[in-house]
Amino acid sequence: TTLLQFKKVSKQYGSSTVALSDVNFSVNEGELVSIIGPSGAGKSTLLRCINRLIDATSGEIIFDGMDVLSIGRRNLKKLRTKIGMIFQNYNLVERLSVFENVLHGRLGYKTALVGALGFYHEEEKARALEILKSLGLEEQIYKRCDQLSGGQKQRVGIARALVQEPRVLLADEPIASLDPSSSKVIMDHLKNICETFGITVLVNLHQLDVALNYSDRIIGISSGRVVFDGMPSALTHDA
Ligand code: ADP
Ligand code: ADP
């Protein structure tokens, strides 16, 4: 079944920069889709239109039956809880612990400060712990994030996204700041999350080899336009 659909989506910044131009594609539930293209192609803009961190200029985005571009404030919150996101630069609260960052994902920043004083529900803590363990972070739980390696920080980012029990995980260049071995760990986790929990994954990458290895499908974009949409095998067999 279709989880996400872009119909003639365009995004213009200011009066001259066209970041997305007439973008059409759809994503099925449980797919791992890589979005590839050079820097400036529009990949980050595309992902951010899905959870409305950015507002598309025109077109239609349907996510899980919701008309993303026309929903109001209250439903925007509901939309965002279904969408987890991770970033190239992690976007963690560096001076808080791993555990606090992960709980902050579900409860919001203010609540994280309250939670630091010990007011989380036991079931929320148990769930966060379980997710952190599954990502190999059991020994880092009480460390501050500024003491972690890049690969560990990105795993905290994944954990923070997963505690909210999202339908989809958006990953914006999640391995662009990591060395090859940490990159493999992160991509293996994304694949595993997709296969084990059926969470749909959309991942921006600029390395074609990684996309070929891990994706069910690849969407290529260049200058804001979709220039390829197909299985990895279509790219390898054509060459
Ligand atoms: P990518 O993720 O593929 O590197 P982006 O979506 O970040 O591409 O950027 C697409 C285009 O939009 C680029 O030309 C970029 O300079 C421009 N752009 C991105 N964000 C903004 C912004 N906030 N204001 C103006 N232009 C932007
Ligand atoms: P970057 O620094 O990578 O350009 P931004 O600062 O533009 O990223 O936006 C990312 C910030 O938005 C993060 O701090 C993140 O916590 C926050 N954010 C807002 N909505 C969401 C969401 N639905 N999922 C994840 N993060 C979100």
Nearest-angstrom CA–CA distance, 38 and 57: 22
Q: What is the mean pLDDT of residues 84-92?
A: 96
pLDDT of residue 239 exceeding 80, the answer is no
Query: Residue 9 Cα, ligand 2 centroid: separation in angstroms?
Result: 21
The closest ligand to the CA of 177 turns out to be 2
Predicted confidence band of residue 123 (pLDDT cuts 50, 70, 90): confident
Which residue is closest in CA terms to ligand 2's atom 27?
85
pLDDT of residue 231 exceeding 80, the answer is yes
What backbone phi and psi angles, to 5 degrees, belong to 76? -65, -40
Strands (E), the chain: 2-13, 17-28, 32-36, 58-63, 66-67, 83-87, 168-172, 200-205, 217-222, 225-230
Instruction: Please give the full DSSP string across 141-197, using - where no structure is assigned.
Output: TTSBGGGS-HHHHHHHHHHHHHTT--SEEEEESTTTTS-HHHHHHHHHHHHHHHHHH
Which atom of ligand 1 lies at the shortest distance from residue 11's CA? 12
Predicted confidence band of residue 84 (pLDDT cuts 50, 70, 90): very high
Predicted confidence band of residue 124 (pLDDT cuts 50, 70, 90): confident
ipTM of the complex: 0.75
Which residue is closest in CA terms to ligand 2's atom 23?
80
Which residue is closest in CA terms to ligand 1's atom 16?
40
Q: What's the pLDDT score for residue 104?
A: 75
Region for residue 8 given its phi and psi (left: phi exceeds 0; alpha: psi -120 to 50; beta: otherwise): left
Q: Best substitution site from 85, 106, 173 to test ligand 2's pocket, by max atoms within 8 Å of Cβ?
A: 85
The separation between the first and the last C-alpha atoms of the chain, rounded to the nearest angstrom, is 31
Q: b/e for 183-198, b at 16 or more Cβ within 10 A? A: bbbbbebbbebbeeee
Nearest-angstrom CA–CA distance, 5 and 61: 6
Q: What's the pLDDT score for residue 117?
A: 57
55 touches ligand 1 (CB under 6 Å): no
Contact assessment for residue 229 and residue 217, using Cβ atoms and an 8 Å cutoff: yes
Which atom of ligand 2 lies at the shortest distance from residue 84's CA? 24
